[in-house]
Structure 1
Amino acid sequence: MSGWLHILRGDAPLIVALPHTGTDLADVAGQFRSPWIARRDADWWVDRLYAFAHDMGATTVRTAISRSVVDVNRDPSGASLYPGMATTELCPTTDFDGAPLYVAGGPDAGEIARRRETWFDPYHAALTAEIERLRAAHGRVVLYDAHSIRSHIPRLFDGTLPQFNIGTNGDASCDPALTAAVAAAAGPDQVVNGRFKGGWTTRHYGRPGDGIHAIQMELAIRGYMDEPDVPDEANWPPAFDPARAAPLTAVLADVLAACLAFARQGA
């Protein structure tokens, strides 16, 4: 564990990655137009939502750095994960609603390279090391990339997002049996490879033929906290309430249990 990179190791064949729960604006906080806006699109409380994962033997890897500083779930080459659709960059210059993040412009190429070297590369070195450690002991390893997002963001998607959004890069990042098991555990309010097909983590690490199965879960935030129609500094983020989140947590426990059952079938 470093000041910003948190790894809790388990011995089960499951890694839960938490790339967007961080709110630390690091040494660039003064460049943002508003610290609140720079933090607004975090995956709020997802690390608390999955706090039970370690009790199941899972390994968790989390960065405390805000996605507005550097998004560790974007292609480091700068290529869009969703060509032709609205999205954000490796070092985002706008928030999810399209509003500018910076007082003036944004980071230049040199600054983007610095942020990648300082935070992106160590995060992925840690993920790689944990995958290799567990893959040496197990026939299969599941990498579960955990996310959440507001239920309504017109710039990114129409209407209301399903509660559970499962991404497998069009069935390329994991065995279809894992997708089916996760979908069954999630229940009816879900979609597979809908608006969110998996970010760079899922696409980069998922190699089913090598025993590494990567799957992304994007949750609509309404499932675990009361979501205001219009987030503002007075109401966002709502405090995490374990009792309010308990029904969703129970479903997520079933989802991770399904991931473990799948992984152990390959033992």
Structure 2
Amino acid sequence: MTPWLFHEGSTPLLISMPHAGTSLTPEVEAGLTDRARLLPDTDWHIPALYAFASAMGASILQANYSRFVVDLNRPADDTPLYQSATTGLFPDTLFDGEPVFRPGQEPDKAHRAWCLEQVWQSYHQQLADTLAAIKARFGYALLFDAHSIASVIPRLFDGRLPDLNIGTNHGASCAPAVSEALRACCEAQSAYTWVINGRFKGGHITRAYGDPANHIHAVQLELAQCNYMDETPPFAWQEERAAALQQVLKSLLETLVTSARAVEESHAR
């Protein structure tokens, strides 16, 4: 099993999908609880949801392994990203607090070291190499980190999550003009609720690679899953809801591309 799938595009935009994978190593699969075997914390159907993006010229990097193998959006040293409840590099609890593994059945340190080297490092090397190649070609690069999550998880946030949760690491991962353009794009529609730098401000990928001073603009989008799928097993895709959401996602991606291009062109003058 290769750790990731990659499609090379023709524009400065790279879409990263670190939590879309569902494959498990034998060592991880053997220890999962019955509930965890359903892979409830997966970013279900994200590749299908963004299938239109390849026609826009985006490069796409998609993880193959489940986050229960190793979480690609956490730092390698497992430093917590949020002060509130969260999950780590090697998750031992589900988002709702239930255990991922049966008692004493967690993968051992040797296997987790293998996952870190062969899965985590591999994904991040491809991510870094792709951004470097895009920047060498265009003079700048755009990273859109695509995520989704159940709309109600009391352990992680109060009430129902907004539909569109944009994270820019408090404005540090992209130019201010890019963030403002995304805000205007959200304000121009009324079908979906939204927030910028709310509960989800961007995970490790957004924080580590977003560097607008170095001409790399990164944005994370966390979607409430109820807008395109069923949030209970078997987590079925809902075509009508997904099609409506895709129109807004396309507008957001187009806004990211055009606003970043304007920023970079102004710098070049």
TM-score (norm 1): 0.92
Q: Which residue of 2 aligns with 1:16?
A: 15
User: C-alpha distance in 2, partners of 1:76/1:5?
Assistant: 18
Aligned residue among 201, 218, 242 for 2:239: 242
SS of 1:181's equivalent in the other structure is: helix
Deviations 1:202-226 (A, max 9, x none): 0000111000011100000111124
Deviations 1:146-194 (A, max 9, x none): 0000000000000000000011111111111111222222345111111
How far did residue 38 of structure 1 move?
Answer: 5.5
Moved more, 98-107 or 141-150: 98-107
Deviations 1:214-243 (A, max 9, x none): 11000001111244xxx3xxx4312x2333
Q: Which residue of 2 aligns with 1:212?
A: 216
AA in 1 matched with 2:102: V
Q: Which residue of 1 aligns with 2:130?
A: 130
User: C-alpha distance in 1, partners of 2:36/2:92?
Assistant: 15
How far did residue 5 of structure 1 move?
Answer: 1.0
Q: Which residue of 1 aligns with 2:141?
A: 141
How far did residue 104 of structure 1 move?
Answer: 2.3
- What do you get for the CA RMSD once the two structures are aligned? 1.6
AA in 1 matched with 2:157: F
How far did residue 110 of structure 1 move?
Answer: 3.3
User: C-alpha distance in 2, partners of 1:130/1:204?
Assistant: 14
AA in 1 matched with 2:255: A
5 Å-filtered alignment, 1:94-113, equals 94-105=93-104, 106-113=106-113
Q: Which runs of 5+ in 2 are unaligned?
A: none
5 Å-filtered alignment, 1:100-249, equals 100-105=99-104, 106-187=106-187, 189-227=193-231, 231=232, 235-238=233-236, 240-249=237-246
User: C-alpha distance in 1, partners of 2:35/2:159?
Assistant: 28
TM-score (norm 2): 0.91
User: C-alpha distance in 2, partners of 1:178/1:167?
Assistant: 12
Preserved contact between residue 3 and residue 123 of structure 2 (Cα < 8 Å): no
Preserved contact between residue 31 and residue 107 of structure 2 (Cα < 8 Å): no
Number of equivalenced pairs: 258
AA in 1 matched with 2:249: L
Preserved contact between residue 3 and residue 118 of structure 2 (Cα < 8 Å): no
Q: Which residue of 1 aligns with 2:68?
A: 68
Q: Which residue of 1 aligns with 2:87?
A: 88
How far did residue 12 of structure 1 move?
Answer: 0.3
Q: Which residue of 2 aligns with 1:50?
A: 50
SS of 1:90's equivalent in the other structure is: coil
AA in 1 matched with 2:200: F
Q: Which residue of 2 aligns with 1:32?
A: 32
Preserved contact between residue 91 and residue 107 of structure 1 (Cα < 8 Å): no
How far did residue 91 of structure 1 move?
Answer: 0.7
User: C-alpha distance in 1, partners of 2:143/2:174?
Assistant: 9
User: C-alpha distance in 2, partners of 1:8/1:118?
Assistant: 20
User: C-alpha distance in 2, partners of 1:122/1:38?
Assistant: 26
The percentage of counterpart residues that share the same residue type is: 43
Preserved contact between residue 20 and residue 62 of structure 2 (Cα < 8 Å): yes
Preserved contact between residue 141 and residue 213 of structure 1 (Cα < 8 Å): yes
AA in 2 matched with 1:236: P
SS of 2:220's equivalent in the other structure is: strand
Preserved contact between residue 4 and residue 123 of structure 2 (Cα < 8 Å): yes
Preserved contact between residue 166 and residue 218 of structure 1 (Cα < 8 Å): yes
How far did residue 62 of structure 1 move?
Answer: 0.5
SS of 2:138's equivalent in the other structure is: coil
SS of 1:78's equivalent in the other structure is: coil
Preserved contact between residue 40 and residue 236 of structure 1 (Cα < 8 Å): no
SS of 1:156's equivalent in the other structure is: coil
